[in-house]
Amino acid sequence: MKSYCIIGGGLAGLSLAGRLLLAGEKITLIDDACPSGASRLAAGMFNIVTGKHAVKTWLAEELLADLKAFFEIPIFEKLQQYIHYQPLYRPFKDIGEYNDWLGKYQSPELKDYIRFQATQIQADIFANPLGGIFIENCGWLDTTGFLQGLLAILNEFPHFQYIEKKIAATQIDLQEKQIVWEEKPIFFDELILANGWQISQESIWQIPLLPVKGEILRIYAPDLQLPFLLSGKIYVIPTGSGHFIAGATYEWDFAHNEPTQAGKEILCAHLDELLQVKYEIISHGAGIRPTTHDRRPVLGTHPQFPHLHVFTGFGTKGVLSFAHFSQIMAGYLQGKNSLGKEYDVQRYYRKGRMKG
Ligand X SMILES: Cc1cc2nc3c(=O)[nH]c(=O)nc-3n(C[C@H](O)[C@H](O)[C@H](O)COP(=O)(O)OP(=O)(O)OC[C@H]3O[C@@H](n4cnc5c(N)ncnc54)[C@H](O)[C@@H]3O)c2cc1C
Q: Which member of 117, 198, 200, 231 binds ligand X (CB under 6 A)?
A: 198
Rounded to whole angstroms, the Cα distance separating 317 from 150 reads: 19
Q: Which stretch binds ligand X (CB under 6 A): 5-13, 20-28, 85-93, 299-307?
A: 5-13
Between 271 and 300, how does the x/- string for binding to ligand X read (CB under 6 A)? ----------------xxxx----------
Between 115 and 144, how does the x/- string for binding to ligand X read (CB under 6 A)? ------------------------------
Binding of ligand X by 312 (CB under 6 A): yes
Which residue lies nearer to ligand X by CB, 11 or 114?
Answer: 11
Q: Which member of 216, 236, 299, 328 binds ligand X (CB under 6 A)?
A: 216
Are 97 and 86 within 8 A, CB to CB?
Answer: no
- The dihedral sign for the CA sequence 291, 292, 296, 299: negative
* Numbers of helices and strands, H then E, in the chain: 8, 22
CA distances from 297 to 158, 326, 328 (A): 30, 11, 12
Binding of ligand X by 259 (CB under 6 A): no
- Strand locations in 110-234 (E): 114-117, 132-135, 139-141, 160-164, 172-173, 178-179, 186-187, 190-193, 212-220, 229-231
Between 19 and 48, how does the x/- string for binding to ligand X read (CB under 6 A)? -----------xxx-x--xxx-xxxxxx--
**Cβ at position 1, least distance to ligand X in Å:** 24
Side-chain-side CA neighbours of 196 within 13 Å: the count stands at 26
Which residues would be at the binding site for ligand X (CB under 6 A)?
7-13, 30-32, 34, 37-39, 41-46, 166-167, 194-196, 198, 214, 216, 247-248, 287-290, 312, 314-320
